[in-house]
A and B are shown apart, each in its own frame.
Chain A
Amino acid sequence: MRKGHVEMTHGAGGRVMAQLVEELFVRHFDNDFLNQGNDQAIFEGPGGRMVMSTDGHVVSPLFFPGGDIGSLSVHGTINDVVMSGARPLYLSAGFILEEGFPLADLERIVVSMAAVSKEAGVPIITGDTKVVEKNNGDGVFITSTGIGVVPPGVDISGSKARPGDSILVNGFIGDHGIAILSKRENLEFETQIVSDSAALHDLVAHMVEAVSDLHCLRDPTRGGLATSLNEICWQSGVGMKLREDSIPVRPDVQAASELLGIDPLYVANEGKLIAICPANETDTLLEVMRAHALGQNASVIGEVIEDKNHFVTMETGFGGSRIVDWLAGEQLPRIC
């Protein structure tokens, strides 16, 4: 810690980032809320249990198929709030702008933010603007904070996965990362893939209503599905067994991944969630998810098992088995 420097892997969402958070932020800020280890913190407010989450956005390029840094910042923050089962109420937006950035592009970003926040019914009610000298930023960085309120009886945390629970996802994984990658300088390739960027609060509201003892929710953004599942295993002290055949991956995402030598399990998503529920609620949950526009391709991808090593293992489509590890290093820089 004393000798090192910040490297790109510290922001990639994998184990190195988890260690940085643990050994630096959690250690020094040290409080019960942070120790929950979730992407958001739940606290008692005068009107009941409230939730707060904050999220920085540094995506490159700023505009990509299916969204831009503005819509991403709104969706991303709403999703972090609602992964506690909460109803999102308000957002903030802090802008760090680079000298020379075209105002027309900034307006395009702000118009997009306004549109998606209106659509989600979660207004941006406060904000901040700072400008840094040319070459000291990359156009626009946006940080946003969201607050929400947790319905009575809902108690969702990454620490609540229990052996026997079912693991579900709400649809195709890897779309966002591949969409971004397809527009990267030096790497452009033709594809129809668009980012899955979406606000998941309505889907989550339906899920929470149908299955009151939902155990965990998490949006697998940086580090992808694989890393989020590993985080839950550590938080809950369990293992997981997945079936590769049941993990939804679009053929074109699979094809692009093959071409680039990356694994869709580690590619970022911005409109996906992992849900973990007791086995006897699996069918109900799956039905509710599939009935929703953002969950039509929902699938049960595996189950929680006892494992003192907290491994995520997977039966491969080929019939063998392997570990699905944390993301090591970084797969793609600046994805969200």
Chain B
Amino acid sequence: MKYIAEFRDKKLAKGLAEAICEEAQSGRKYRIMEFCGGHTHAIFRYGVQELLPKYIQFVHGPGCPVCVLPINRIEQALELAERHGVILCSYGDMMRVPAQKRRSLLSAKAQGADIEMVYSTMDALEIARNNPDREVVFFAIGFETTTPPSAVAIQQAKAEELKNFSLFCNHVLTPAAIQHILQAPDVCEYEAVTIDGFLGPSHVSAIIGAQPYEYFAEEFQKPVVITGFEPLDIMQAVLMLVRQINHGSHEVENEYTRVVTQKGNIKAQKIVSDVFELRRMFEWRGLGMVPYSALKIRDNFSQFDAEIRFELTQNNARDVKACECPAILRGLKKPTDCQLFGTACTPDNPQGSCMVSSEGSCAAYWSYGRFRLQTKEEGVKG
């Protein structure tokens, strides 16, 4: 297919793999964190790791929007649907994420809560227009990529004077999370995981541009290569990272020039900053409280803020005890290090968020890669 097949070409992949082998020094390890869940998914779906030498290792980062949402926020979304009786509109990925007591949006829906799966914020607005006597809340999640559509929905709701629409804002920011990982004591001081370089996000960078990564590339002396979601993009970026690591350089390079510019999508950035402002503190699953890592709705749009319109309980819900999602999201552990992986926790019956979304690293390991897990194979049922 035009512009798809070209980026999945077997021959080019082989050529790139050879170039990487030539460039890489076999005596050392190259630990590359792909921040973005979309990359994790592509690496597994196309079998990219298999084409690379063993000493090049991917460390899976926290860039899966569903995975990083703390359980308390899901509890609050359930509260909106169940206690406040709103029509809760959510992207499909959120539907199965486990809250406490194995509840989820999907199970709440089965028990009568009004929860609609939507493909776009525009669908949520349409539901609000069609149900003027009901409160409609859009459960907004995601990184910089899904933020502009949320901002547009709020602008539009204001323009239309839509009184029954609001947004439960859970939008988070990529650069803040990467910086947090690099600053985290267990990552840096104890060197539990030494990350040699980053694959920079694709779609997020289309919005924010290449420039925001420059600060921490310099500050933490780690190279970043922004790359696309196609497997050849990933391999090309690995080659670029290996070269930088060998030369000891730490620049922000852009492999994904067909989409990402230095400054990003200025129009989208303006819309976002019109509607949203930085949140002083936000909890991430896995990373804990991260300052200035999320967005909230500005005061002049506060009538569309579900957190203001509805009283929400601040509970202290906890993840399943044995679940290793937090360590996995920080790149400290692999999915297979978790004792629940493949036994109590599978995509059909997820205990932790990393097993839910196809972008979560546990789901990717399980769904695409578990035949390689020789040591645990006996316990891994199909």
Contact = CB atoms under 8 A, between A and B. Distances in A.
Given A15-B348, A319-B51, A309 B371 contact: yes
Contact of B4 (A14, A254, A311, A320): A254
A336 to B, nearest CB: 19
A296 interface: no
A92 interface: no
B380 A320 contact: no
Interface in A242-262: 251, 254-255, 258
B106 interface: yes
A214 B382 CA distance: 26
B54 to A, nearest CB: 14
B13 interface: yes
A325 B355 CA distance: 14
Interface stretch (B118-126, B181-189, B319-327): B118-126
Nearest to B9: A318
B29 interface: no
Contact of B123 (A7, A9, A186, A317): A186
Given A5-B107, A254-B1, A329 B10 contact: no
A238 B72 CA distance: 43
Interface stretch (B39-47, B219-227, B270-278, B289-297): B39-47
A58 to B, nearest CB: 16
B145 to A, nearest CB: 13
B47 A316 contact: yes
Interface residues of A, number: 35
A48 to B, nearest CB: 36
Interface stretch (B18-26, B248-256, B362-370): B362-370
Contacts of B369: 322-323
A234 B50 CA distance: 27
B8 A323 contact: no
A78 interface: no
Contact of B110 (A7, A251, A311, A322): A7
A326 B348 CA distance: 10
Most interface-central of A254, A309, A319 (chain B CB within 10 A)? A319
A42 B296 CA distance: 62
B283 to A, nearest CB: 26
Interface string A8-29: 1100001110010000000000
A188 B68 CA distance: 31
A177 to B, nearest CB: 15
A14 B348 CA distance: 9
B106 A9 contact: yes
B311 interface: no
Given A186-B119, A186-B126, A316 B46 contact: yes
A230 B348 CA distance: 15
Nearest to B42: A318
Nearest to A184: B119
Interface residues of B, number: 42
Given A320-B48, A320-B51, A251 B1 contact: yes
A1 interface: no
A321 B377 contact: no
A311 B126 contact: no
Nearest to A7: B110
Interface string B238-280: 0000000000000000000000000000000000000000000
Given A7-B106, A254-B4, A328-B347, A319 B118 contact: no
B46 A320 contact: yes
Given A254-B1, A309-B377, A318 B48 contact: yes
Given A187-B119, A318-B10, A325-B367, A8 B106 contact: yes
B368 A325 contact: yes
A176 B13 CA distance: 33
B110 A321 contact: no
B78 to A, nearest CB: 15
B380 A321 contact: no
B285 interface: no
A323 B13 contact: no
Given A320-B46, A322-B46, 8 more contacts: A15-B348, A255-B4, A317-B10, A319-B13, A319-B14, A322-B45, A323-B371, A325-B347
8 A-B pairs with the lowest CB-CB distances in the bound complex, closest first = A320-B47, A328-B347, A5-B110, A318-B46, A322-B368, A320-B50, A319-B10, A325-B367
Interface of B: 1, 4, 8-10, 13-14, 44-51, 95-96, 106-107, 109-111, 118-120, 123, 126, 231, 346-348, 363, 366-371, 377, 380-382
Interface of A: 4-9, 14-16, 19, 186-187, 230, 233-234, 251, 254-255, 258, 309-311, 313, 316-323, 325-326, 328-329
21 contacts: A5-B110, A7-B106, A7-B109, A233-B382, A309-B377, A313-B371, A316-B47, A317-B8, A318-B10, A318-B51, A318-B231, A320-B46, A320-B47, A322-B46, A322-B368, A323-B369, A325-B366, A326-B382, A328-B346, A328-B347, A328-B348
